[in-house]
Amino acid sequence: MLEDIFAGVKPLEKSISALEMDTTLSGKDDKLDAIVEIHAGSGGTESMDFANMLLRMYLRWAERRKFKTAIMEFNAGEEAGVKSVTFTVHGKYAYGYLKAESGVHRLVRISPFDANKRRHTSFASVFVYPEIDDSIDVVIDEKDVKIDTYRSSGAGGQHVNTTDSAVRLTHIPTGIVVACQNERSQHKNKDSAYKLLRARLYDYYKKKQEEEEDKVNKTKKDISWGSQIRSYTLNPNRVIKDHRTGVTIYDDKSVFDGDIDEFISAYLLGVRA
C-alpha cells in the first residue's frame, strides 16, 4: 500500500511544482521566446572551450523541453570552442526560465589544452533577453543604425562564406551591436538582425524606465574572479554550485547534458543561500 501511495504522490508533486512555476513566471515578458548570448571571458582557449560547453548545455536543455533553437551568430575560437555566440530559444516561457542563467559562469578543471596537465580556471558570461513579438512596438530610426556586411565564419558551411551575407547593426545612440550570419541571403540576415536589435532595445529601455540600471550593471560584471553566479568544478572533486541559491549538484555530466532545471527552479522560486 505504501508503494502505491508513493507512486501516486510523485505525479502530484510534479503537478504542484509545475503550478508553482507557472505562478512564479507571471512577469510580462516571461512567456516570450528568449535570445541568449554567450561570451568567452578570462582564460583564452580554455574559456572559449567552456563557452562552447555552455552552448551545448543550453541547446540540450532546450531539446529536453522540446523547444526549438536557432543560432544567429557564431564566432569560433582560434584553436577551439567559441568566442561568442547568439541563439534564440522558442518555447513556452523560454525567457522566463532562461533569465535565471544570466551572469558569469566559472569552470575549474585540468586543461585538455595544457601539455603539463595543470589546473585552469576559466570564465564565460551568459546574457538573456526576451524576443519581443510584433505586438510590442519599438521604433528604430534608420539614421541611428550603422549597417556593416561581412563574410560569415564558423558554422554554416562554405555557401555562407563566399559572399558578404552576414550583417552587423550598430545602434549609435545606445552603442548596442547585433549581428546575424545564419542565412545565405544578406536580406534575410538583415531582417533577423533588426529583430535582434528590437529585442535588445526593448530590454534596454524597459530596464531604464524601471530604473533598474544599477541592477543590470551588477549582472554585467567583469567576466573574471569574484563575479560568478555558478562554479563548475571538475578538479579536484566534481561539483557544480550555484552561489546565489546554494544548490549543489555532484553529477556534472548530467548538468552539461542540459539537466539544469534544479538550478533554474531554485533561483526563480527565491531560494537563497
Residue range 55-81: average pLDDT?
94
Is 116 found in the same domain as 43? yes
Q: What is the Cα–Cα distance from 273 to 56, expressed in whole angstroms?
A: 27
In a domain, 175, yes or no: yes
In a domain, 137, yes or no: no
In a domain, 243, yes or no: yes
Is 100 found in the same domain as 57? yes
Is 124 found in the same domain as 223? yes
Residue range 54-76: average pLDDT?
96
Show the domain range for 155. 142-209
Report the chain's mean pLDDT, rounded to a whole number.
85
In a domain, 149, yes or no: yes
In a domain, 230, yes or no: yes
> What does the block give as the cell for 259?
539537466
Is 78 found in the same domain as 52? yes
Q: What's 224's DSSP letter?
A: S
DSSP 160-196: GTSS--EEEEEETTTTEEEEE-SSS-HHHHHHHHHHH
CA dihedral 114, 119, 123, 124 (to 10 degrees): 60
Question: Which pairing describes strands 33-40 and 145-150: parallel, antiparallel, or unpaired?
Answer: unpaired
pLDDT of residue 193: 93
Could you report how far apart the first and last alpha carbons of the chain are, in Å? Answer: 38
Is 109 found in the same domain as 40? yes
Is 30 found in the same domain as 82? yes
Q: What domain count does the chain have? A: 2
Q: Among 175, 209, 243, give the residue marking a domain's end.
A: 209
In a domain, 181, yes or no: yes
Is 215 found in the same domain as 95? yes
Q: 212 pLDDT exceeds 50?
A: no
In a domain, 42, yes or no: yes
Q: How far, in Å, are 150, 168, 213, 235, 240 from residue 72 at the CA level?
A: 14, 11, 27, 34, 29
Which secondary-structure segment (H or E) carries 239?
strand 239-242
141-192: per-residue pLDDT in tens? Answer: 999 999 999 887 655 444 445 567 899 999 999 999 999 998 888 999 999 9
Is 151 found in the same domain as 125? no
In a domain, 5, yes or no: no
For position 67, which CATH number holds?
A: 3.30.70.1660
Is 150 found in the same domain as 87? no
> What does the block give as the cell for 25?
513566471
Q: Among 161, 193, 209, give the residue marking a domain's end.
A: 209
Q: 107 pLDDT exceeds 90?
A: yes
Those residues with Cβ within 8 angstroms of residue 263's Cβ, 6 or more apart along the chain or in another chain: 100, 230, 242, 245, 247, 249
Comparing C-alpha atoms, which of 88, 55, 59 is closest to residue 154? 55
Q: Cis omega before residue 130 (within 30°)?
A: no
Say what the pTM is.
Answer: 0.75
Helix, strand, or coil here: 16?
A: helix
Is 179 found in the same domain as 99? no
Q: Among 191, 209, 227, give the residue marking a domain's end.
A: 209
Residue range 67-96: average pLDDT?
94
Is 188 found in the same domain as 67? no
Q: 70 pLDDT exceeds 80?
A: yes
Whether the CB-CB separation of 70 and 196 falls below 8 Å is answered with no
Q: 227 pLDDT exceeds 90?
A: no
Is 95 found in the same domain as 77? yes
For position 204, which CATH number holds?
A: 3.30.160.20
